[in-house]
């Protein structure tokens, strides 16, 4: 245990300031650039072992959080998200081991060339440094994010909710033990103890310490980040996803895709929220809605309501809403242009799909629709790190800088220029 | 001329609000996704033609700006930056044609694979949408940035300084003419007329319109962006660049490199500002400073001052300063670790160089020093878009998200996922 670690324990009674904590995490992040990928992967395995060994304490801490949650009247959904039962615990540990098995990304040469003057130029993948995560109740994020960050040679500051603080700290303790077992500084993964609102603002303004902030939460958190953050961040925003059913498409395929995108798991960001139907197929497609979208509340425009008799009237608000529920807004459009215009107006830049047999329509949709993912003849539900073969994901970026779409290990890196010469000077 | 363009002319007397202007630029940006690369390249050629044709008016506008500048006591440097003489004008036009000749980046498939379930996945390079540039006096930035943005299928809002407003508007008018000649909406390149301070703040908060803000200016601008911007941005920050001269290196090579990095053009961001010398070569290297760094003011630590007799005392502030002048801070370090620690403390993340013959030292420096560019045995002056073969650059990013280092066309794009199936649904 180094002198820094001792200091940390000593100051456990008098909590160190957030800047002091961040400064130690920054120092620890440098150590990660000095070790190789095998050592980091071994640290992940040690983290998994220590989590398993601390299972009793972690689940006990979770029960304490849950009791506090019950007393403070958390909603059923909030309580569910907070819960870490045996099955979820094992999935969490398995997740860490899965990340351990992912291929190394750090040190990859993304581009390499030699200039006419003989200078060698490489763009090499390097870690970001210190990643900050702000998240809500799910305590498994603590281990997931820690694993992805360590694998990509980043240190991480984890700021979860006050509701989950005991569970998060217990998970953090086990992870720190694993890091130290593997010879790495425990500060590489730091669970932030201060879960106050002021603390959150301070966290978003740790310039010089946090190299990338990734918020995982609802619109209120996103708004707070936009207004207050001064550190660079990547937004994991809403998914108001559309499916456009084109004229002349395979109607049966369209039904299957729309049903899957809406119903298979309505509470997630890559589920469909609005259906747009070309007027030429509106009657044929929409008349069958009660059968292929059984149990889904339809909110439609006038044309839709001619075919879906029990549909409610869709307001502008409905088209702008990410329902995350068994509700679907529906509009009949006169052509692809109208569909694209609608999507441009209401899209949150997550995932947008078209079902079509018209190659030209597909090409236009791919080029002209601006989203992290455009999907042709498949369900929007595929826009997910695991489904796309990235392994795990630390979020889905809906912004246009840095990462876009599901963020795996590569999103936790950037490239640096490595330029080598033999006494080259500029003339 | 569409109805929008007419509206723009009509409201020329009653200036449209910044949001109205931004909304038109956003609409125009969509048109760029509908045309191909050849059309955009042709638009650049038309822009160059129209600039040439409007040369008299543009230079006249510049003279008017310069007269106003003289009356308002601009400094000599500011006046120089503001000046668009014949030679600079021709270089500006040539720059537009050079960008026209760069290879197409939009539509490139960066990654493409087929999943075991048959789903085709591509990551395709796409424009960012609307780029916002905030810049200071140099009016050539107006044409440079416009060319890079149009080539990469982005619309651009250009907010220059009030000092250069007449020149910028004249350049903008010529560019708009070129765009329209090529059948593109003139709003694709929009010079913002409001150059007030409040206007700048409003500009930084055009969420939903500006997809990427690139500020080009000094520390005050960077601070304002950090504090007030709510749109995503890429910072082109300071360059407090270091050169570390290692023990056992080729001393003559080191002298050549240090002299080049400091003296060849001291006023630019990739010039060296601090020299670190291993104590084993301090005497040999530093004793010769008066000859190879003739005319450079040296500010050194105690050890340095033993060998450079007329050196001033270096303060902590000196090591933190980007002099942009014939001044160099110098420190003798006891080893590579101390050099890396110094750089970590004072680096602005731009360019850091080592001169060494020790392969291991070079490898450690490359891995452990965190900067946009690490340079081995060459001058920091090579960290430049043109020198590295990117063609032109729109800035040099010193941040760690999105682009890092010199930003060429690729930095003005991101990738989107294009997923194609044949009725694929998730089970």
Query: What's the pLDDT at A160?
Result: 95
% pLDDT > 90, chain A: 91
Cβ of B401 within 8 Å of Cβ of A234? The answer is: yes
Cβ of A234 within 8 Å of Cβ of B377? The answer is: no
In whole angstroms, give the CA distance from residue B361 to residue B48. Answer: 48
Query: What's the pLDDT at B13?
Result: 55
Point out the residue among B129, B372, B421 whose CB comes nearest to the CB of A417: B372
Q: Provide the sign of the torsion angle of the four alpha carbons A260, A266, A271, A277, taken in this order.
A: positive
Per-residue pLDDT at B5 exceeds 90: no
Residue A108: closest C-alpha in chain B: B367
Query: What's the pLDDT at A5?
Result: 40
Q: Where are the alpha helices (DSSP H) in B17-164?
A: 18-34, 37-53, 55-71, 76-82, 86-101, 140-151
Look at residue B244 and give its three-state secondary structure.
Answer: strand
- pLDDT (average), residues B135-152: 95
Q: Distance (Å) from the C-alpha of residue B170 to the closest C-alpha of chain A?
A: 31
Point out the residue among B387, B400, B420 whose CB comes nearest to the CB of A378: B420
Cβ of A370 within 8 Å of Cβ of B418? The answer is: no
Point out the residue among A34, A418, A424 whose CB comes nearest to the CB of B374: A418
Contacts of A212 in chain B (CB under 8 A): 400-401
Per-residue pLDDT at A16 exceeds 90: no
Query: What's the pLDDT at A14?
Result: 67
Q: Is the distance from CB of A234 to CB of A403 less than 8 angstroms?
A: yes
Per-residue pLDDT at A155 exceeds 50: yes
Point out the residue among B344, B389, B420 whose CB comes nearest to the CB of A377: B420
Point out the residue among A227, A414, A416 whose CB comes nearest to the CB of B401: A414
pLDDT digits (tens, 9 = 90+) for B298-337: 999 999 999 999 999 999 999 999 999 999 999 999 999 9
Strand partners, B242: B274, B352
* Residue from B109, B258, B367, B383 to probe the interface with A (highest A Cβ count within 10 Å): B367
Strand partners, A386: none
- Provide the pLDDT confidence category of residue A1 given band limits of 50, 70 and 90: very low
Contacts of A259 in chain B (CB under 8 A): 425
Cβ of B421 within 8 Å of Cβ of A375? The answer is: yes
Cβ of A416 within 8 Å of Cβ of B425? The answer is: no
On the 0-12 / 13-18 / 19+ scale of CB atoms within 10 A, A369 is buried
Per-residue pLDDT at A12 exceeds 90: no
Contacts of B414 in chain A (CB under 8 A): 400-402, 404
Torsion of CA A234, A236, A238, A244, to 10 degrees: 90
List b or e across B113-152, with b for residues whose CB sees 16 or more CB atoms inside 10 angstroms.
eeeeeebbbbbbbbbbbbbbbbbbbbbbbbbbbbbbbbbb
In this complex, how many residue pairs, one in chain A and one in chain B, have their CB atoms less than 8 Å apart? 218
pLDDT digits (tens, 9 = 90+) for B354-409: 999 999 999 999 999 999 999 999 999 999 999 998 888 999 999 999 999 999 99
Cβ of B389 within 8 Å of Cβ of A264? The answer is: no
Cβ of B416 within 8 Å of Cβ of A373? The answer is: yes
pLDDT digits (tens, 9 = 90+) for B39-56: 999 999 999 999 999 999
Cβ of B417 within 8 Å of Cβ of A370? The answer is: no
Contacts of A250 in chain B (CB under 8 A): 423
Contacts of B366 in chain A (CB under 8 A): 124, 418
Query: What's the pLDDT at B11?
Result: 43
Give the Cβ contact number of residue A131 at 10 Å: 26
Query: What's the pLDDT at A391?
Result: 82
Point out the residue among A226, A362, A364 whose CB comes nearest to the CB of B230: A226
Q: Is the distance from CB of A330 to CB of A314 less than 8 angstroms?
A: yes
For chain A, the average pLDDT equals 94
Point out the residue among B344, B405, B424 whose CB comes nearest to the CB of A378: B424
Contacts of A128 in chain B (CB under 8 A): 400-401
Instruction: Dig out the tokens for A159 from the structure.
Output: 């700021």
Spell out where A235-311 has E strands: 241-245, 272-278, 297-300
Strand partners, A157: A132, A190
Per-residue pLDDT at B424 exceeds 60: yes
Per-residue pLDDT at B6 exceeds 70: no
Q: Distance (Å) from the C-alpha of residue B367 to the closest C-alpha of chain A?
A: 6
In whole angstroms, give the CA distance from residue B129 to residue B211. Answer: 6
- Provide the pLDDT confidence category of residue B15 given band limits of 50, 70 and 90: confident
Query: What's the pLDDT at A13?
Result: 55
Q: Is the distance from CB of B21 to CB of B188 less than 8 angstroms?
A: no
Per-residue pLDDT at B8 exceeds 70: no
Write down the domain spans for chain A. 18-236+407-418, 241-387
Query: What's the pLDDT at A219?
Result: 83
Q: Distance (Å) from the C-alpha of residue A67 to the closest C-alpha of chain B?
A: 35
Q: Which residue has the tokens 């330029």?
A: A419
Cβ of B113 within 8 Å of Cβ of A389? The answer is: yes
Q: Distance (Å) from the C-alpha of residue B195 to the closest C-alpha of chain A?
A: 23
**Topology adopted by domain A18-236+407-418:** Aldehyde Dehydrogenase; Chain A, domain 1 (3.40.605)
Per-residue pLDDT at A6 exceeds 90: no
Instruction: Dig out the tokens for B165 from the structure.
Output: 């407003």
In whole angstroms, give the CA distance from residue B274 to residue A377. Answer: 58
Q: How many degrees, rounded to 5, is the angle at CA B398 between CA B397 and CA B403?
A: 40
Helix, strand, coil fractions of chain A, as percent rounded to 5: 45, 20, 35
pLDDT digits (tens, 9 = 90+) for B58-73: 999 999 999 999 999 9
In whole angstroms, give the CA distance from residue B423 to residue B171. Answer: 51
The CATH number of domain A241-387 is 3.40.309.10: yes
Query: What's the pLDDT at B14?
Result: 67
% pLDDT > 70, chain A: 97
The CATH number of domain B20-237 is 3.40.50.1110: no
Q: Distance (Å) from the C-alpha of residue A241 to the closest C-alpha of chain B?
A: 14
- pLDDT (average), residues A44-62: 98
Residue A344: closest C-alpha in chain B: B30
Contacts of A421 in chain B (CB under 8 A): 375-379, 382
Q: How many degrees, rounded to 5, is the angle at CA B382 between CA B377 and CA B385?
A: 145
In whole angstroms, give the CA distance from residue B361 to residue B244. Answer: 11
Q: Distance (Å) from the C-alpha of residue A166 to the closest C-alpha of chain B?
A: 32
Point out the residue among B227, B232, B382 whose CB comes nearest to the CB of A119: B382
Q: Distance (Å) from the C-alpha of residue B111 to the closest C-alpha of chain A?
A: 12
DSSP B1: -
Q: Distance (Å) from the C-alpha of residue A350 to the closest C-alpha of chain B?
A: 10
Instruction: Dig out the tokens for A73 from the structure.
Output: 């009247």
* Residue from A419, A421, A422, A427 to probe the interface with B (highest B Cβ count within 10 Å): A419
Cβ of B401 within 8 Å of Cβ of A260? The answer is: no
Q: Is the distance from CB of A61 to CB of A169 less than 8 angstroms?
A: yes
Contacts of A419 in chain B (CB under 8 A): 373-376, 378, 382-383, 388
Q: Distance (Å) from the C-alpha of residue A308 to the closest C-alpha of chain B?
A: 24
Query: What's the pLDDT at A121?
Result: 98
Contacts of A264 in chain B (CB under 8 A): 425-427
The set of long-range contacts for B335-339, using a CB threshold of 8 Å and a minimum separation of 24, is B335/B278, B336/B244, B336/B246, B336/B278, B336/B361, B336/B364, B336/B365, B339/B242, B339/B244, B339/B246, B339/B276, B339/B278
DSSP A16: P
Cβ of A426 within 8 Å of Cβ of B129? The answer is: no
- Provide the pLDDT confidence category of residue A2 given band limits of 50, 70 and 90: very low
Edge-first strand order for the sheet with B413-424 is: A312-313, A297-300, A327-333, A272-278, A241-245, A351-355, A373-378, B413-424, B120-127, B109-114
Query: What's the pLDDT at A137?
Result: 83
Q: Distance (Å) from the C-alpha of residue B4 to the closest C-alpha of chain A?
A: 17
């Amino acid at each position: 245990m180094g002198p820094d670690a001792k200091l940390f324990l000593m100051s456990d009674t008098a909590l160190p300031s957030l800047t002091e904590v961040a400064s130690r995490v920054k120092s620890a992040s440098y150590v990660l650039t000095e070790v190789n990928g095998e050592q980091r992967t071994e640290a992940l395995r040690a983290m998994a072992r220590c989590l398993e060994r601390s299972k009793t304490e972690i689940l006990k801490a979770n029960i304490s959080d849950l009791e506090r949650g019950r007393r403070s009247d958390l909603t059923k959904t909030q309580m569910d998200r907070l819960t870490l039962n045996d099955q979820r615990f094992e999935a969490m540990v398995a997740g860490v081991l899965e990340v351990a098995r992912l291929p190394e990304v750090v040190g990859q040469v993304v581009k390499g060339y030699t200039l006419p003057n003989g200078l060698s130029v490489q763009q090499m993948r390097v870690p970001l440094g210190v990643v900050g995560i702000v998240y809500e109740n799910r305590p498994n994020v603590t281990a997931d994010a820690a694993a992805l960050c360590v694998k990509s040679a980043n240190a991480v500051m984890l700021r979860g909710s006050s509701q989950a603080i005991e569970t998060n700290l217990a998970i953090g303790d086990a992870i720190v033990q694993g890091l130290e077992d593997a010879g790495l500084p425990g500060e590489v993964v730091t669970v932030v103890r201060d879960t106050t609102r002021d603390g959150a603002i301070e966290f978003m303004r740790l310039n010089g310490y946090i190299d990338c902030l990734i918020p995982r939460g609802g619109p209120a958190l996103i708004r707070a980040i936009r207004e207050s953050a001064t550190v660079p961040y990547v937004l994991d925003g809403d998914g108001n996803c559309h499916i456009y059913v084109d004229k002349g498409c395979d109607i049966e395929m369209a039904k299957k895709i729309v049903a899957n995108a809406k119903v298979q798991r309505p509470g997630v960001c890559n589920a469909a929220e609005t259906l747009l139907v070309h007027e030429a197929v509106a009657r044929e497609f929409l008349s069958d809605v009660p059968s292929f979208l059984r149990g889904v509340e339809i909110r439609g425009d006038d044309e839709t309501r001619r075919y879906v008799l029990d549909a409610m009237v869709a307001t502008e608000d409905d088209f702008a809403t990410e329902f995350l529920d068994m509700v679907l807004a529906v509009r009949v459009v006169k052509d692809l242009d109208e569909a694209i215009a609608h999507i441009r107006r209401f899209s949150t830049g997550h995932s947008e799909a078209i079902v079509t047999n018209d190659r030209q329509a597909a090409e236009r949709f791919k080029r002209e629709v601006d989203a992290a993912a455009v999907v042709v003849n498949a369900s929007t539900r595929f826009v997910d790190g695991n489904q796309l073969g990235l392994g795990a994901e630390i979020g889905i970026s809906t912004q246009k800088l840095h990462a876009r779409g599901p963020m795996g290990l590569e999103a936790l890196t950037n490239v640096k220029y490595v330029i080598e010469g033999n006494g080259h000077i500029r003339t």
